[in-house]
């Protein structure tokens, strides 16, 4: 094929792309090789297979039933020929994008892969730079909505079951509102610098999306669909940037014609319905006026003609003769809905007055045996309207369902992923903060205990909104985003060396990534960024770690597995290690903000500490922990792990009932029995010895019974047994005692029997609640989901650090002018708990919240969790702002 230079494609993108690639090869020759790709994922698909997917629309054509029109509709998503681009130029643009995306995946050095962005964004991380980023992201979003509208129209015309009406309607309304705006934004094509930045930002976003999606699922069909879809979107978004305002009108015009066509089809359908209703009403009136007598005569004649129709009389009345006269002109094979049982002689048996849904409702009271549709469809001849009706229904589309579904899955993931990233890059919608004042952070930490570890992912976005998940699949899908961000930060740190920072108050990135392998453990690293391009290299991968992004990815992969019938066991999880880590990007203005004594950003919370188990340092207050040195914190963490290991070993033998926990205590029982036996046998031997000694000796012990000592020893043994059975539990039946087990009905009894701290026990019980049948009762069981008046008593107050370690994170919000606490409920097995907290939200019955948190000077310093909302809360159950993560972990909760 002859290569044609596109007359409308932004050639500046290709030029700086080639220069950056050449410079990257030079850099690679000077620097030592980077480590291999962390997930060891191979590119299963090939360039030829991707090109075949790009041109699959040339083989999938749909013809309408109306042969006279000779119209042909081709399924072609992301078509750019409607925007002043020829098909040859379109093909060339696709090939350029495919080559770029494949190279982006194969290149293991992050800074080299996205080096084009280093050229386009050399400025510092100032407010002007972030404002310009917002404008670029807004332009990309508008063009992305154009793509959605175009693709939605194609899907609706050819495969309505795959048409996403919500996304299409939303994008259509956004474009319509933008078209009505008087002050439209200036197209970026007016500035070469803006053009380069637009394309560089798009290249970075699509390259990172490509690496994330391809690494998430090692399957050739998935990888080919994703790369081809990203290549199409990238090419079309660059073409639309030439004149976005003009192309909005063009897209709206094409969508408008489609909407008019749909309205015409609906109008024709309504007309057909009214014609049927009018014909039926006219016939019913005529039958009611003239046909009753004739129908009764014919029904009572009992004529037995093999060529006639047998109709029996009924109480509903009606005109049988008009029906018989009309039916002679409609062949049985040509009647719509013909389901009548025909005998070999041609006779149809019909019943009168049968309850077939339409009888006795003004339709003559007639029912037809064997029919499933209304009987009155026979009473007019609509043969003249059949062609128009068939045209309106478009029932002749020849579509390959699997083809539509596969393309729709890849298209939905691409548009949703890009939409998520661009919306986060655009601006801060919900907080009255400058564009350069934010702290974006993602944390993966291990909640629960050693026996039941619950990985938790929490993300704080640009507007300080929080979201989280404990889904293992989603957390593993986020690993590649963590790895890309940390690799970029390491590359920048090495490149900076000892060079001074040109901007003293520049943004900083703090990161740490740990896995089970000891050699990969490292301390948190803080890197000061020198340019805005470096911030983007951290920011975009960081946005790929959000629960929303990973949920989009998981949903698309699951749908594709169902279509392709892929072995679930072989491809169940991505090849990511078990890890903990955090990445934070913080601007100078956010650092200067003063928060309350009990508030912290996610970056400053105890969750990001090394080993991510710092919340279980129950022996220390938050202030002591903050002031502790690294060695002291390490010692505390090791002590916590030792206690958890001991707890896991003991809890493996516990038996859970609805109202109690049975604990094996063989050592304790044997110890008590041993001591009592020593006293009993010792007392008996003492009595025998003293009696023998008195008889043999010349010493006379007048009035002394030697076996009195035996009685005293036995009394002491009984007292020891009584105390041993009563000091730890209220009731201990002899049967349980002899079976070497004890039944604990309260948390304090369980603590006394096992010797484990109450906060550690609470962490274990909260984490494993979904695995057992334990039902709890008060006074401090509000955090549990199964509660009853006859359950296991939680008689010890949990601390907030204990709830944090269980996967419950307290967030302070503003309800009206008063603060309140709302919880992210990320416990194991939690299905109804809140997984995100936005700046505008409402409290529900399933939420864990504290309507009135304690303040300094209050008599009650505990956090009181509300079981239900008070009556005045129903008038204003919404909060309108997030203040931050509640950091006062020393408080008790009840």
More confident of the two residues 10 and 829: 829
User: Which ranges of 350-496 does DSSP label H, i.e. alpha helix?
Assistant: 386-393, 401-426, 472-477, 479-496
Would you place residue 2 in the very low, low, confident or very high pLDDT band (cuts 50, 70, 90)?
very low
Per-residue pLDDT, 636: 72
Contact 848, 825 (CB under 8 A): yes
Helices 708-726, 666-696: axis angle to 10 degrees equals: 170
Do 483 and 511 touch, CB atoms closer than 8 A? no
Of residues 546 and 842, more confidently modeled: 546
Is pLDDT of 401 > 70? no
Residue 416 banded pLDDT, cuts 50, 70, 90: very high
> For the chain, what percent of residues have pLDDT higher than 90?
12
pLDDT of 70 over the 60 cut: no
- Cross-strand bridge partners of residue 454: 447
Count: domains in the chain:
1
- The more confident residue out of 194 and 34 is 194
Question: Is the whole-model pTM more than 0.85?
Answer: no
CB 591 within 8 Å of CB 510: no
pLDDT (0 to 100) of residue 855: 79
161 touches 443 (CB < 8 A) = no
Which run of H or E residues covers position 63? Answer: strand 61-63
HSE-CB of 440 using CA atoms within 13 angstroms = 25
Q: With a cut of 50, say whether residue 339 has pLDDT above it.
A: no
If you write DSSP's letter for every residue of 296-340 in order, what string do you get? HHHHHH----TTSEEE---TT---HHHHHHHHTTS-GGGSTT---
Contact criterion met (CB below 8 Å) for 147 and 231: no
CA distance 23 to 118: 11
Mean pLDDT value of segment 154-158: 71
| Residue 619 belongs to a domain | no
Q: Which of 409, 403, 411 is nearest to 158 (CA)?
A: 403
Confidence at 30, pLDDT banded by 50, 70, 90? very low
Please state the rounded mean pLDDT for residues 594-622. 61
pLDDT digits (tens, 9 = 90+) for 340-387: 343 333 333 333 333 333 333 333 333 333 333 333 333 334 444 444
Angle at which helices 165-180 and 244-301 cross, to 10°: 130
Q: Is residue 110 part of a domain?
A: no
* Residue-level pLDDT at 319: 41
- What number of H helices and E strands is found in the chain? 26, 23
User: Quick one: pLDDT at residue 351?
Assistant: 37
- Which residue did the predictor score with more confidence, 349 or 624? 624
How many of the other CB atoms lie within 10 Å of CB of 426?
19
> Above 70 in pLDDT, residue 790?
yes
pLDDT band at 458 (very low <50, low <70, confident <90, very high): very high
Token reading at 503 = 């901007």
- Least confident window among 112-126, 199-213, 654-668, 801-815: 112-126
Mean pLDDT on 541-560:
91
**Gap between the Cα atoms of 146 and 237, Å rounded:** 9
Maximal C-alpha separation, the chain? 142
The larger pLDDT score, comparing residue 563 to residue 313, is at 563
Q: Average pLDDT for residues 748-753, to the nearest whole number?
A: 91
Given a cut of 90, is residue 543 above it in pLDDT? yes
pLDDT at 522: 59
Q: Of 20-24, 515-519, 874-878, where does mean pLDDT reach its minimum?
A: 20-24
Over residues 436-449, the mean pLDDT reads 85
Cβ proximity of 784 and 741 under 8 Å: no
Predicted confidence at residue 286, as pLDDT, reads 58
Torsions phi, psi for 86 (to 5 deg)? -80, 170
pLDDT score of 553: 92
Check residue 353 and give its pLDDT.
38
Burial of 560 (0-12, 13-18, 19+ CB in 10 A): buried
Q: Are 566 and 423 in contact (CB under 8 A)?
A: no
User: Across-strand partners of 467?
Assistant: 459, 836
Q: Reply yes or no on whether the pLDDT at 867 is more than 90.
A: no
pLDDT at 157: 66
- Expressed as residue numbers, the domain containing 322 is 263-390
- How long is the chain? 894
Predicted local confidence at residue 531, as pLDDT: 85
358 located within any domain: yes
Higher pLDDT, 661 or 380: 661
Q: Which one has a higher pLDDT value, 452 or 777?
A: 777
Q: Lowest-pLDDT range, 423-427, 500-504, 757-761, 837-841?
A: 500-504
Examine residue 515 and state whether it is found in any structural domain, yes or no.
no
Residue 300 burial (CB count, 10 A): 10
- Which of 591-600, 631-640, 683-692, 844-853 has the least mean pLDDT? 591-600
- CA 725-726-727 angle, 5° bins: 110
Contact 893, 797 (CB under 8 A): yes
**Does a structural domain hold residue 505?**
no
| Structure-block tokens of residue 882 | 């997030």
Q: Is the pLDDT of residue 544 over 90?
A: yes
- Across residues 52-57, what is the average pLDDT? 82
* Average pLDDT of the chain, as a whole number: 72
At residue 203, the pLDDT reads: 92
User: Is the C-alpha dihedral spanning 289, 294, 297, 301 positive or negative?
Assistant: negative
Cα 729 versus chain centre, distance: 45
Which pLDDT score is estimated for 453? 81
Summarize the confidence of residues 753-777 as an average pLDDT: 88
Those residues with Cβ within 8 angstroms of residue 803's Cβ, 6 or more apart along the chain or in another chain: 766, 783, 810, 823, 893
Residue 33 above 50 pLDDT?
A: no
Distances (CA, A) of 311 to 281, 289, 300, 351: 22, 20, 9, 6
Where does the pLDDT of residue 159 fall: very low under 50, low under 70, confident under 90, or very high at 90 and above?
low
The mean per-residue pLDDT over the stretch 214-222 comes to: 85
CB 730 within 8 A of CB 745: yes
Output 86 or 501, whichever has higher pLDDT.
86
Average pLDDT for 295-306: 45
Asked if residue 612 belongs to a domain, the reply is no
- Residue 271, in any domain of the structure: yes
- Dump pLDDT digits (tens) for 235-276: 999 999 888 888 888 888 877 665 555 555 555 555 555 555
pLDDT at 420: 93
Using DSSP's 3-state secondary structure scheme, residue 444 falls into strand
On whether residue 75 sits in a domain, the answer given is no
Residue among 64, 84, 91 at smallest CA distance from 1: 91
What is the DSSP code (8-state) at residue 34?
Answer: P
Mean pLDDT over residues 853-881, rounded?
Answer: 69
pLDDT in tens, 674-718: 999 888 888 888 777 776 665 555 555 556 677 777 888 888 988
pLDDT at 662: 93
């Amino acid at each position: 094929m002859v290569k044609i230079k596109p007359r409308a494609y932004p050639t500046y993108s290709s030029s700086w792309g080639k220069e950056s690639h050449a410079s990257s090869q030079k850099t690679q020759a000077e620097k030592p090789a980077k480590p291999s790709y962390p997930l060891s994922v191979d590119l299963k698909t090939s360039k030829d297979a991707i090109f075949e997917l790009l041109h699959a629309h040339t083989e999938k054509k749909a013809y309408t039933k109306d042969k006279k029109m000779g119209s042909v509709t081709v399924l072609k998503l992301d078509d750019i020929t409607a925007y002043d681009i020829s098909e040859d130029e379109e093909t060339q643009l696709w090939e350029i994008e495919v080559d770029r995306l494949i190279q982006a995946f194969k290149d293991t050095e992050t800074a080299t892969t996205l080096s084009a962005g280093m050229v386009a964004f050399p400025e510092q991380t100032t407010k002007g730079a972030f404002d310009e980023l917002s404008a670029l992201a807004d332009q990309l979003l508008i063009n992305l909505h154009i793509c959605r509208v175009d693709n939605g129209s194609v899907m609706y015309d050819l495969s309505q079951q795959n048409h996403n009406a919500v996304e299409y309607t939303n994008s259509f309304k956004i474009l319509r509102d933008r078209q009505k705006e008087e002050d439209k934004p200036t197209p970026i094509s007016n500035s070469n610098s803006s053009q380069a930045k637009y394309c560089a930002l798009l290249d970075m976003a699509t390259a990172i999306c490509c690496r994330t999606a391809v690494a998430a699922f090692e399957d050739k069909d998935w990888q080919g669909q994703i790369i081809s879809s990203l290549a199409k979107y990238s090419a079309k978004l660059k073409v639309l940037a030439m004149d976005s305002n003009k192309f909005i009108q063009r897209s709206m015009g094409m969508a408008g014609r489609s909407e008019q066509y749909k309205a015409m089809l609906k109008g024709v359908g309504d007309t057909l319905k009214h014609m049927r209703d009018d014909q039926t009403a006219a016939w019913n009136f005529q039958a009611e006026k003239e046909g009753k007598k004739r129908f009764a005569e014919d029904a009572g004649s009992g004529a037995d003609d093999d060529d006639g129709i047998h109709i029996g009389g009924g109480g509903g009345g009606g005109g049988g003769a008009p029906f018989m006269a009309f039916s002679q002109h409609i062949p049985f094979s040509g009647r719509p809905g013909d389901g009548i049982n025909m005998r070999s002689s041609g006779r149809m048996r019909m019943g009168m007055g049968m309850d077939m849904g339409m009888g006795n409702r003004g339709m003559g009271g007639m029912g037809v045996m064997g029919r499933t549709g209304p009987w009155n469809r026979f009473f007019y001849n609509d043969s003249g309207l059949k062609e128009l009706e068939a045209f309106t229904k478009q029932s002749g589309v020849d579509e390959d369902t699997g083809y539509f579904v596969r393309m729709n899955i890849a298209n939905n993931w691409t548009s949703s992923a890009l939409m998520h990233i661009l919306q986060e890059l655009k601006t801060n919608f919900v907080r009255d903060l400058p564009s350069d004042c934010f702290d974006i952070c993602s944390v993966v930490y291990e909640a629960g205990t050693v026996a039941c570890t619950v990985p938790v992912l929490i993300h704080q976005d640009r507007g300080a909104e929080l979201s989280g998940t404990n889904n293992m699949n989603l957390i593993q899908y986020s690993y590649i985003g963590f790895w890309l961000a940390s690799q970029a930060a390491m590359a920048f740190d090495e490149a900076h060396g000892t060079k001074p920072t040109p901007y003293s108050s520049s943004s900083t990135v703090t990161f740490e990534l740990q896995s089970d392998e000891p050699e990969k453990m490292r301390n948190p690293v803080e890197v000061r960024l020198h340019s805005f391009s470096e911030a983007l290299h951290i920011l975009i991968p960081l946005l790929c770690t959000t629960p929303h992004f990973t949920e989009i990815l998981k949903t698309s992969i699951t749908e594709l597995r169902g279509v392709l019938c892929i072995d679930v066991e072989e491809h169940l999880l991505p090849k990511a290690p078990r890890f903990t880590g955090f990445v934070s990007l913080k601007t100078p203005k956010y650092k200067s903000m003063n928060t309350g004594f009990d508030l912290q950003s996610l970056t400053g919370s105890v969750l990001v500490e090394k080993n991510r188990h710092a919340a279980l340092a129950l022996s220390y207050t938050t202030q002591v922990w903050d002031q502790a040195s690294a060695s002291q914190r390490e010692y505390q963490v090791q002590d916590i792990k030792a206690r958890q290991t001991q707890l896991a070993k003991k809890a493996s033998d516990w038996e859970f009932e609805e109202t109690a926990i049975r604990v094996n205590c063989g050592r304790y029982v044997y110890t008590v029995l041993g001591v009592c036996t020593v006293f009993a046998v010792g007392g008996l031997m003492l009595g025998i010895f003293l009696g023998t000694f008195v008889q043999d000796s010349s010493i006379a012990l007048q009035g002394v019974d030697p076996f009195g000592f035996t009685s005293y020893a036995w009394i002491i043994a009984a007292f020891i047994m009584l105390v041993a059975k009563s000091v730890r539990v209220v009731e201990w039946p002899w049967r349980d005692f002899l079976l070497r087990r004890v039944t604990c009905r309260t948390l304090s009894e369980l603590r006394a029997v096992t010797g484990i701290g109450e906060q550690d026990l609470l962490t274990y019980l909260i984490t494993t609640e979904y695995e057992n049948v334990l039902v709890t009762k008060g006074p401090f069981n509000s955090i549990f989901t199964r509660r009853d008046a006859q359950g296991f008593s939680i008689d010890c107050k949990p601390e907030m650090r204990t709830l944090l370690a269980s996967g419950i994170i307290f967030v302070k919000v503003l309800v009206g002018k008063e603060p309140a606490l709302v919880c992210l409920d990320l416990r194991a097995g939690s299905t109804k708990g809140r997984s995100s907290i936005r700046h505008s939200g409402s409290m529900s019955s399933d939420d864990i919240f504290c309507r009135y948190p304690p303040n300094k000077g209050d008599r009650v310093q505990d956090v009181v969790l509300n079981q239900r909302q008070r009556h005045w809360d129903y008038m204003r159950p919404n909060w309108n702002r997030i203040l931050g993560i509640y950091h006062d972990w020393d408080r008790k909760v009840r």
